[in-house]
Amino acid sequence: MIGAITSGLFPTGAPAGLTVDYLVVGGGGGTCWGTGGGGGAGGLRCTVTATGGGGTLESALFLSNATNYTVTVGAAGASTTSRNTRGGAGGNSTFSTITSTGGGGGGGNAAGQTGGTGGSGGGGSGPIAAGSGTTNQGYAGGIGADGVVAYTAAGGGGGAGVVGQAAGTRGTAYGGNGGNGVQTSITGTSTYYGGGGGGGTNGSNATAADGVGGSGGGGNGSNVPGRTTAGTANTGGGGGGAGDGESFGQNGGSGVVILRYANTSTITIGSGLTGSTATSGSYKVTTITAGTGNVSWV
């Protein structure tokens, strides 16, 4: 009788599988020349600690062994050298059925150049609107401020955890800070991902101040040559915005896919992907930093 019950609960040939926690972060948005808004962070979806956009924590996936699951790491959004062209959007990152949208590019101060929409939105410049974020992935960017030309400033890019800061106004021009990202302990160490880029300013105003990148890889904005910084690779951070003619916008940071599963399972990382696996307590943690390809487990 006992044997019959056991056979019914675990039928012969039932597929073996495993539970996989994940952090999937899209690539951060780039920025443009000409008092550019900060780049929006890549969208962030996570099953451990917290997820992006203030959403409910995601659910882990139950996956079958000996089955291929697609992974793509979103590329960094590119900077542009024209005030008439918004910074490039970051690329989407995917794992199996999970997609995190790339961050929106930062807007320039030419007419009609709003911050781009994305996982998190790019910052606006002058009085031009910021981009919106994606529900349960990230937040909107901050709007820019406009006065006389010397006082123009741009908003910070949205972060996975916080809205980008609006820029300052006449007489107190400052680029808005990028929104902070989200902390997760999926690797065993609590780490921020998905920070928005800081907004740029027109630094001919002596009181102009740089927009600081958000925690989680956001780049700093500035009008001073050499002081703008790109989003940090494999964080999905947005690039820092530029000033008007004395500095250049920056690229966003590339995304990342991190997978956590029981240390009794073994992963195969397929061709086309760059990644590594470490052990954290009773888990293995695989971090995939570039490419497109398949993963599978035994």
The per-residue pLDDT for range 163-185, each reduced to its tens digit, is 999 988 655 678 899 999 999 99
Structure confidence at residue 168 (pLDDT) = 81
Range(s) of the domain holding residue 266 = 17-298
Residue 135 lies in a domain: yes
Cβ atoms of 44 and 130 within 8 Å: the answer is: no
Mind listing the pLDDT tens digit for each residue in 61-117? 999 999 999 999 999 999 987 777 899 999 999 999 999 999 999 998 776 678 999
Q: Is residue 141 within 8 Å of 156, Cβ to Cβ? A: yes
Dihedral, 16, 22, 25, 26 alpha carbons, nearest 10: 20
The reply to whether 276 falls in a domain is: yes
Q: Going residue by residue through the chain (298 aa), what tens digit of pLDDT does each one get? A: 333 333 334 344 445 899 999 999 999 999 988 788 999 999 999 999 999 999 999 999 999 999 999 999 999 999 987 777 899 999 999 999 999 999 999 998 776 678 999 999 999 987 778 999 999 999 999 998 875 555 578 899 999 999 999 988 655 678 899 999 999 999 999 999 999 999 988 765 545 678 999 999 999 998 887 889 999 999 999 999 988 766 788 999 999 999 999 999 999 999 999 999 999 999 999 999 999 999 999 9
- Give this prediction's pTM: 0.92
Strand duo 283-297 + 98-100: pairing: unpaired
Please name every residue paired with 126 in a beta bridge, in sequence order, or none if there are none: none
Q: How far apart are CA 90 and CA 77, in angstroms?
A: 4
- Name the phi and psi angles at 9, rounded to 5: -75, -35
Assigned domain for 3 exists: no
In a domain, 266, yes or no: yes
Block residue for tokens 């599978």: 296
Q: Is residue 251 part of a domain?
A: yes
Number of domains in the chain: 1
The answer to the question of residue 1 being in a domain is: no
The CA distance from 239 to 157, in Å, is: 8
Asked if residues 35 and 205 have their Cβ atoms less than 8 Å apart, the reply is no
The answer to whether the CB of 196 falls within 8 A of the CB of 25 is: no
CA distance 16 to 272: 26
Geometric angle at alpha carbon 136, from 89 and 165, rounded to 5°: 60
For residue 170, tell me if it sits in a domain.
Answer: yes
Assigned domain for 11 exists: no
CA distance 11 to 7: 5
Q: What stretches of the chain show up as alpha helix (H) in DSSP?
A: 2-9
